[in-house]
Amino acid sequence: MPSLRTSTFTESVIREMTRVAREYGAINLSQGFPDFPMPAPMKEAACAAIRGDVNQYAVTWGAPALRLGIAEKYRRWYGMDVDPDREVTVTCGATEAMAAVFMALLDPGDEVIVLEPFYENYGPDAILADAKPVFVPLEEPDWRLDPDRLRAAFTPRTKAIIVNTPHNPTGRVLTRDEISLIAELCQEHDVWAITDEIYEHIRYAGNHHVIATWPGMAERTVTISGFSKTYSCTGWRLGYAIAPAELTTAIRKVHDFLTVGAPAPLQAGATVALAFDTPYYNELAYGYRERRDMLAAALTEAGFTFSLPEGAYYILASFSAISDLDDVAFAHWLASDIGVATVPGSSFYHKRGMGRGLVRFAYCKKKETIEAAAERLVGLRARV
Ligand SMILES: Cc1ncc(COP(=O)(O)O)c(C=O)c1O
């Protein structure tokens, strides 16, 4: 029999919807991967590394040049002092970073606060570490954090809080006040902040606030980010965790036993990206803002309601003005009858029934793809 631990895991609904999209020939606005190419210099560097025989295990916690580039990035962008030798671990995506950090930091019974709706991996990550996720809602319709509810979630067993900004699936960018409140509560209750900043460069409003730079937070923060979204290379599986040296030693042990290391030639490709300049990041955000506006117009026209994303590349939309179906049935109908694949809202909540009137659209797609989806969504209400 498989372990009890895995018995509560269901197949990732997001990846399932990608399969459903294929089955119906639907335009895939479900999974968050770009359908356009990644930057050419990174591809060239990775190919050169393969040809140059960089094909054996990299240093377990990341190629030195890549760790140096990451430390330099944090100095330049956020004024953060990061020691590349003692505080950076390169992992197989932010996904592995999160799992490794959970296992390195949490003991059985520890509680981890997760803002809900949430990226679907955090719940299983907590279970893998025998920890208990405690959910605090971001309130509809504009997904604000209620300070009193957050405060009430901290208990003597709370060990960590996940801080995901820009936020998947809502598109919220947490404000300075929200980050300050989280920092204050972490210090008051002796709790770690584990961040997920994978969309840090995809923002249309607000600033990216790095909680590790708050007074008193560097020593109780693990900063997680990665290359998948910023450089459109979700298949490369490269991310990292920045943490104080003592915790980094523990994270590196878990990482070593889980994966030995991230792919060596792709680390060489990623190193090149860290030298990209401001125009690259501006273009990335402008490009996504245009796509957001295209999709938002089409969804409004079709009868969906939502709050406009401030960051990341998703719209979490309510379809309650269109249909009474539940989210799973509506998402299947949208894929099969209209030809647009989305993710049912309940996949971002811990209880069935929550997110019932919501679906998530991803717009990390070519403009042609979004235009084609918009055409299919025209007249949607007439076909319900
Ligand atoms: C919030 C968030 N974190 C992490 C990931 C996965 O990152 P990676 O590809 O680096 O594992 C995603 C992917 O969709 C995400 O939305």
Query: pLDDT digit string (tens) for 28-45?
Result: 999 889 999 999 999 999
The rounded Å distance from CA 382 to ligand 1 centre is 36
pLDDT in tens, 138-196: 998 899 999 999 999 999 999 999 999 999 999 999 999 999 999 999 999 999 999 99
Query: How large is the average pLDDT for residues 265-285?
Result: 97
The rounded Å distance from CA 360 to ligand 1 centre is 15
Give yes or no for a contact between 100 and 254, defined as CB atoms under 8 angstroms apart: yes
Is the pLDDT score of 365 beyond 90? yes
- Ligand 1: atom nearest CA of 119 is 1
End-to-end CA distance of the chain: 43
Structure tokens at 165: 């900004």
Is the pLDDT score of 11 beyond 80? no
- Ligand 1: atom nearest CA of 227 is 10
| Nearest CA among 52, 55, 87 for reference residue 71 | 87
- Ligand 1: atom nearest CA of 98 is 4
Is the pLDDT score of 379 beyond 90? no
What is the rounded CA–CA span in Å between residue 332 and residue 1?
32
Name the average pLDDT for the chain.
95
Structure tokens at 174: 């947490």
What is the rounded CA–CA span in Å between residue 187 and residue 181?
10
Cis check: omega of the bond before 141, within 30 degrees of 0: yes
**Residue 10 pLDDT:** 75
Is pLDDT larger for residue 379 or for residue 264?
264
DSSP H/E element including 22: helix 13-24
| Nearest CA among 227, 219, 221, 226 for reference residue 209 | 221
Compute CA distances 126 → 69, 121, 132, 158, 209, whole Å: 30, 9, 6, 13, 25
Portion of the chain with pLDDT greater than 90, in percent: 89
**Residue 125 pLDDT:** 92
Q: Which residues surround ligand 1 with Cβ inside 6 Å?
A: 32, 93-95, 119, 164, 168, 196, 198, 226, 228, 234, 239
Is the pLDDT score of 259 beyond 90? yes
Compute CA distances 142 → 17, 26, 68, 149, 174, whole Å: 26, 29, 39, 16, 12
Structure tokens at 21: 């999209």
Residues in the chain: 384
